[in-house]
Amino acid sequence: MNSTHLLLKALKGEEVERPPVWMMRQAGRYLPEYMVLRRKYDFFTRVQTPELACEITLQPIDIIGSDAAILFSDILVIPQAMGLEVQMVESKGPFLPRTTTTKSEIEALNATTADDHLQYVYDAISLTKKELNNRVPLIGFAGAPFTILCYMVEGKGSKAFDKAKQFCFSEPKLAQSLLQKITDVTIAYLKRQVQAGVDCVQVFDSWSGLLSKADFEIFAKPYLVQISDALSPLAPVILFPKGSWYALEDLSTSSASGLGVDWCLTPKQARTLTNNNITLQGNFDPNHLLKPIHEIQKEVKEMIDAFGPQKYIVNLGHGILPNIPVEHAKAFVDAVKNYSNL
């Protein structure tokens, strides 16, 4: 691990000459080079073939110049490794033909042997670390247990995940047993990612913002904290409970090294809520990347000034969208590299 990497310094709270920058979903459909591989190989072939996952992971490093790579994979490899079929349906997203809502379905999920199905992830990490040759650090990741439960119960993406929430509220004990099972598998999975070479890990709780604070305390937070406590002795942990602004204060004193924030909160609000205790990551609205380049440059500077350049990782507030021009993504990254607070 190269301690001079900006990302790792920012996560430790060490002083940096400028903040590091990467973009969620930086390997994806806005890149023509990704589209070439997407037309040739289906989604899970891309994910499960270490050479392809490695090539896709490196694309934004070579093309956009991000300060960190994030492994090309998906959060749904966990339900898959636990024995569920997961399809990626063209222009629709994930589909799980068999959902998980009963005691026997939860018991049938395999927790102990899940890891045997994930060797391709660890192979992709080893290969990517070799190819990166220490140019930038590699971020590993997993979905947070509540977000994974959403897909396991609902069977597909949703705007409100009503079925998943209703399952939690009508069968809290069952929901908690499912969340614990996912947590155990996720901890083992992230530990193996660190052994294979990732420099830090991010936990995506993409749907936690659908919960009230009280429900977050029951169905999301305990599991995020377990994962963070188990991983933080091994590697820095970034938690991204999207939309759960009410959780930032509590999580700022957890074992995590960084917290992701979306654009529904100002940088100042995020700093105040977290008492400037922890490194923050975010929070550019990905849709703003469609603005003219000079406006992107201006907004990036304003965002860094507002968060402050220390204890800060520049990122979007959620994944980059497929219709963003590559030059705009590059302008975002370059604006950070050219930042000076003079």
Give residues in contact with ligand 1CP (CB under 6 A): 24-29, 38, 43, 70, 72, 74-76, 88, 93-94, 141, 157, 204, 206, 319
CA distance 143 to 125: 17
Scored b (16 or more CB within 10 A) or e, 20-30 reads bbbbbbbbbeb
Q: Closest separation between CB of residue 92 and ligand 1CP, Å?
A: 8
Q: Closest separation between CB of residue 66 and ligand 1CP, Å?
A: 9
Nearest to ligand 1CP of 26, 48 (CB atom) = 26
Nearest to ligand 1CP of 24, 201 (CB atom) = 24
Whose CB is nearest to ligand 1CP?
A: 157
Nearest to ligand 1CP of 196, 297 (CB atom) = 196
Sign of CA dihedral 320, 49, 146, 154: positive
**Closest listed residue to residue 288, CA positions, set 316, 313, 255, 252:** 316
Contact present, 267 and 312 (Cβ < 8 Å) = no
Q: Closest separation between CB of residue 33 and ligand 1CP, Å?
A: 12
Q: Closest separation between CB of residue 57 and ligand 1CP, Å?
A: 8
Q: Closest separation between CB of residue 293 and ligand 1CP, Å?
A: 22
Catalytic residues, by residue number, are 25, 29, 38, 74, 151
Nearest to ligand 1CP of 146, 312 (CB atom) = 146
Q: Which residue has the tokens 């090309």?
A: 72
DSSP SS3 for 315: strand
DSSP SS3 for 312: strand
**Closest listed residue to residue 82, CA positions, set 154, 165, 181:** 181
Nearest to ligand 1CP of 72, 297 (CB atom) = 72
Contact present, 320 and 289 (Cβ < 8 Å) = yes
